[in-house]
Amino acid sequence: MRKQINNDSEAAAGRKLPKVSAQFHRWLLFVTLVMFLITSFFSILIQYRISVIETERLLMIAVNDEITGLSDWMHKSHDMRLSVLKESIDRGIEKDFTKGKFTKEEAANLISNYGFDEINVIDGNGIIIKSTDNSLIGFDLNSNDESKLFLNCLKEDGEVHLPRRESVVFPFKGYMYSGIALSDDMYLQVGTSVDRLDRTVKIVLNDYTRNRHVLEKGILIVVDKDGKIESESSSKNIRRISSLSEYYELEGESKTISSITIDGESCYQLYDSLNSYRIAAILPKSEVIDRLIISVIMTVVIGFILFGTLYLCISLLVKRKVVRPVNDIAVTLERISDGDLDALVSVHSSREFSVISNDINVTVNSLKEHIASEAARIDEELTYAKNIQLSALPSLTDQFTNNRCFGLFASMDTAREVGGDFYDFYMINDHTLAITIADVSGKGIPAAMFMMRGKAILNDYFSRPGDPGNNISRANRRICIGNDAGMFITAWMGMLDIITGQISYVNAGHNPPVLIHDGKADYLDMKKDLILGLMDDENYTTQSLKLDKGDILYLYTDGVTEAVSTERRFFGEKRLLEILDGMALQEENVCKAVCSEVTAGVESFSYGAAKADDMTMLCIRFNGIPDEQA
């Protein structure tokens, strides 16, 4: 009953119903996984944004450090030039100007020795009296506002350094001038060309940027106002500047991080300006992503551990407080559904479960009383039904069991209280015996009811005059009428002339009988027509068999050959033939002995296994006419 209810519930749901514990763990796992994925997703987004901000800060620090270093150098370069100038005086630079004019070779040597592009000696009136450039001798610094400013500062401070400017003498050639007082009426002026300054700046820039890098793969580059790269990189661990083109156009706004592509690789860039130069820091995104991946992996691992621990804690808590009591109740209910109505539900871990347990126990007690009453009523009705079914079968009177011309025995052992098998035998006239064995599809009360109807129809039509096959054809049409349930009958029906041993029979899909002749058993070779009750236009064939004196014909239903052992093996036709072949056949009650021997063999084979089908058999022995009546 429980299995039927479960099957109906699952059929209604259209699927196999899972356990509540499996549902809970599935949903808990789903919710935990979704929350883990959501938190991981937002965590990755936040970490990515933080990594971009940190990268921007890192690039800005690198650029600012570079600008600060270069600015310090430029501020110090003023003092450096004055120091160089003072050192040159200490080395006796004024002694080299005792002569008037210099030849070109002498001027070149002076410039080369002291590292200046122009060296002038100025008297107290501001007149250049000696110079490496003879064309400047006699030039009055008071004649030009800028040179006059230089002279006044020199007289007041004793030393001076002017910013980069155009030379008053050569307006198309840029110089940086410095000066120092040699005495109250003698001054020394040196000039450094823009080209020399640029070369110096480039050397300093290279010194500052050569081994400077951002993280492991990032670089620092210096770009002039024309976009030309003025720095180099010699580090083997970072991208070489040579991988960039000679000219590089900076993108985006200064002091703001932007994305660029170099040699097909996506990079971050940030730059700032220093005078006419721009200092740029470039960092491949792959290095940022690599560091981000490590951070993400750590976050995911930590999140997995946290959510996994949360999942286990909730799972264990619910399992202990909810699932385990529910399972205990379910196990007890399963025992009750299997028929153990003495089982009691005793789950009292909480007030709710205690109430459920008490209610179930009260309900089961009421159910036990009702089942006991109903079972008694059903047993009584089944007993009546079985008696009615058995009463419909012919009695084994002496007329049939101890007849001088034949011996006969039949038995029926139903799988349930009532069954669908039946046998029949009766005398049509003084010398003709009709025998029938049949098996109705199904078992139980439906099969028994259809059996009663089929037996009556076959008895009526088979006993009529005429060809037995034609009579069975008409009986089949009658059986098909109103057979909406689609039930059917397999049957073997024969007419034995008890004087001659001639049998006319019809086989409607039934098992082949066993003929025992001279102690040798073998299956009867015959044609098998269609079973009864399926097609109303089927024609059945009359077949014949001649029995010799002492021959035994054993009829049976498939409950014999299809009996199942505990190993789920069938009894089979071969095993049946082995029992009947060579069986010792006594003169008296031989037919009963045959049936008893087969029954014992089947019961021994299927011992311990549930009976699967009705088992019916009929055995007849032809004795012929007694010698005194021959």
Alpha carbon distances (Å) from 433 to 127, 491, 552, 620: 167, 16, 15, 11
Q: How many CB atoms lie within 10 A of CB 171?
A: 8
Taking each helix axis from N to C end, the angle separating 572-580 and 590-605, rounded to the nearest 10 degrees, works out to 140
More confident residue, 164 or 182: 182
Q: What 3-state DSSP class applies to 198?
A: helix
Tell me, what's the pLDDT at 165? 39
Residue type (1 letter), 410: A
Distance CA 283, CA 219 (A): 7
Mean pLDDT in residue range 385-407: 80
Tell me, what's the pLDDT at 168? 38
Residue 237 has pLDDT above 50, yes or no: no
Tell me, what's the pLDDT at 173? 45
Quickly list H helices, 247-350.
Answer: 285-318, 324-337
Residues sharing a CB contact under 8 Å with residue 495, sequence separation 6 or more, in sequence order? 428, 432, 433, 434, 462, 468, 503, 504, 505
Mean pLDDT in residue range 399-422: 82
Any idea which of 94-103, 216-225, 343-352, 531-540 has the lowest mean pLDDT?
94-103
Residue 60 has pLDDT above 60, yes or no: yes
More confident residue, 383 or 256: 256
Q: With bands split at pLDDT 50, 70 and 90, how would you rate the model's confidence at 514?
A: very high
Residue 10 has pLDDT above 60, yes or no: no
Residue 295 has pLDDT above 60, yes or no: yes
Residues sharing a CB contact under 8 Å with residue 40, sequence separation 6 or more, in sequence order? 299, 300, 303
Residue 503 has pLDDT above 60, yes or no: yes
Tell me, what's the pLDDT at 161? 62
Tell me, what's the pLDDT at 5? 46
% of the chain surpassing 70 pLDDT: 77
Tell me, what's the pLDDT at 205? 65
Residue 1 has pLDDT above 60, yes or no: no
Q: With bands split at pLDDT 50, 70 and 90, how would you rate the model's confidence at 249?
A: low
Best mean pLDDT range from 335-339, 391-395, 624-628 = 391-395
Residue 392 has pLDDT above 70, yes or no: yes
Q: With bands split at pLDDT 50, 70 and 90, how would you rate the model's confidence at 242?
A: very low
Mean pLDDT in residue range 558-583: 89
Average pLDDT, the chain: 78
Residue 238 has pLDDT above 70, yes or no: no
Q: What 3-state DSSP class applies to 534?
A: coil
Within 13 Å, how many C-alpha atoms sit on residue 613's CB side? 22
Tell me, what's the pLDDT at 337? 76
Name which of 287, 256, 297, 289 is nearest 273 in CA terms: 256
**The whole model's pTM is what?**
0.47
Dihedral angle computed from the Cα positions of residues 317, 321, 322 and 328, in that order, rounded to the nearest 10 degrees: 130
What kind and span of H or E run contains 602? helix 590-605
Mean pLDDT in residue range 249-278: 76
The tokens describing 250, both together, are 């900076």
Any idea which of 118-122, 151-155, 227-231, 342-346 has the lowest mean pLDDT?
227-231
Mean pLDDT in residue range 50-61: 83
More confident residue, 29 or 205: 29
Any idea which of 41-55, 218-232, 596-610 has the lowest mean pLDDT?
218-232
